Chain A
Amino acid sequence: EMQVLESGGGLVQPGGSLRLSCEASGFTLISYHMAWVRQTPGKGLEWVSAIDKGADTTHYADSVRGRFIISRDESKKTLHLQLNSLRVDDTAVYYCVKVGNFNYDRWGRGTLVNVTS
């Protein structure tokens, strides 16, 4: 069964950094587009970043471009999201998502990032 599992969230001060990880099982990570989506009570579900299958082409929402970095370690079957220069409005549950055919067909359980002073 295809599954993804996030880790790495936590409490961090504004301006700080965190590295989220997403372990994939049941499928080959490089064979699929992968994405990060975040969710807050106020703004709902928001696409954050994506990495293309078979290549290292990366994409970012305007709100995180220049601060977040998505990467993939195929040998470890792990997707990462490096969060830098964190702001209070980055506080959210971050989901790792496997991208299917014009849909998101596998979601992790999410990891909470709480940016607060």
Chain B
Amino acid sequence: DIQLTQSPSSLSASVGDTVTIACRASQDVSSYLAWYQQKPGEAPYLLIYAASALPRGVPSRFSGRGFGTEFTLTISSLQPEDSATYYCQQLTNYPRATFGQGTRLEIK
């Protein structure tokens, strides 16, 4: 199975800052990588798909980059509501999706 490793596991930043979360795949996943945001008590929410595409309704301060085995999620102009845990996911070998272990973002 393809493993996904996220870094850092947690971080703290202030309103208005820009943060970047990394996701490394154990094998080439091309651009078939997605990012999700999960707030406490809620389900994960699709933020980015195909490594860099934003679904309708996702604010443009969220952006994704990468291909192959190295990917990043960048959140610019941090807002208080961005406090959440963020997960990467690959689905190249449907149906066996795998997720990263998550990165907890705290807004100071």
Contacts and interface: CB of A to CB of B under 8 A. Distances in A.
Whether A and B are associated in the same complex: the answer reads yes
Main secondary structure of the interface of B (DSSP, over half): loop
A44 B70 CA distance: 21
Given A35-B97, A44-B101, A102-B32, A107 B49 contact: no
Given A44-B99, A45-B99, A100 B43 contact: no
A1 B75 CA distance: 27
B98 A47 contact: yes
Interface residues of B, number: 23
B44 interface: yes
Nearest to B99: A45
A102 B50 contact: yes
Interface in A40-67: 44-47, 50, 52, 59, 61
Given A100-B46, A102-B32, A105-B55, 6 more contacts: A44-B102, A102-B91, A102-B94, A104-B46, A104-B91, A105-B49
A70 to B, nearest CB: 10
Interface residues of A, number: 23
9 contacts: A33-B94, A45-B87, A47-B96, A47-B98, A59-B95, A95-B43, A102-B91, A103-B89, A109-B43
Contact of B92 (A33, A95, A99, A102): A102
Interface in A85-107: 95, 99-105, 107
Interface of A: 33, 35, 37, 44-47, 50, 52, 59, 61, 95, 99-105, 107-110
A107 B43 contact: yes
Interface of B: 32, 34, 36, 42-46, 49-50, 55, 87, 89, 91-92, 94-99, 101-102
Given A35-B95, A44-B101, A47-B96, A100 B44 contact: no
